[in-house]
Amino acid sequence: MIKKKEKVASLRSFALVFVIIIIFVAMSFASPVFLTSKNLINIVRQISINGIIAVGMTFVILTGGIDLSVGSVVAITSVICGYLLQNGSNWLVACVVALGIALVFGAFNGFMIAYVGFQPFIATLATVTMGSGIALAFSDGKPFTITNETFLKIGQGYVGPIPIPVILLVIIVAIGLIILKTTTFGRYVFAIGGNKSAAKLSGVRTRRIELMVYMLSSVCAAVVGLILSARISSGQPTAGEGYELDAIAATAIGGTSMSGGLGSLTGTVFGFVILGLMTNSMNLLNINSFYQQIAKGILIILAVFLDMTSKGKKQ
CATH topology of domain 33-308: ABC transporter involved in vitamin B12 uptake, BtuC (1.10.3470)
Chain-centroid distance, C-alpha 33 = 28
Contact 56/106 with Cβ under 8 angstroms?
Answer: no
Helix, coil or strand: residue 159? strand
Domain ranges for the chain: 33-308
pLDDT at 125: 93
- Helix ranges restricted to H, the chain: 2-30, 37-62, 70-86, 91-111, 120-139, 149-156, 164-182, 184-194, 196-201, 206-232, 243-253, 265-284, 289-310
Identity of residue 7: K
pLDDT at 260: 86
Helix, coil or strand: residue 234? strand
Walk along the chain (315 residues) and give the pLDDT tens digit of each residue. Answer: 445 555 656 677 788 888 899 999 999 898 889 989 889 998 999 899 999 999 999 999 999 999 999 999 999 999 999 999 999 899 999 999 999 999 999 999 999 999 999 999 999 999 999 999 999 999 988 999 999 999 999 999 999 889 999 999 999 999 999 999 999 999 999 999 989 989 988 889 999 999 999 999 999 999 999 999 999 999 999 888 889 988 998 998 888 888 888 888 999 999 999 999 998 999 998 888 788 888 878 877 877 777 666 655 444
What is the C-alpha end-to-end distance of the chain, expressed in Å? 21
Residues 1, 13: Cα–Cα separation, whole Å? 18
pLDDT at 207: 94
Q: Which residues have C-beta within 8 Å of that of residue 105, sequence separation ≥ 6? A: 69, 72, 73, 76, 127, 131, 218
261 dihedral zone (left: phi>0; alpha: psi -120 to 50; beta):
left
- Which pTM value belongs to this model? 0.91
Biggest CA pair distance of the chain? 59
pLDDT at 242: 83
DSSP 113: I
Burial of 241: CB neighbours in 10 Å, binned 0-12, 13-18, 19+:
middle
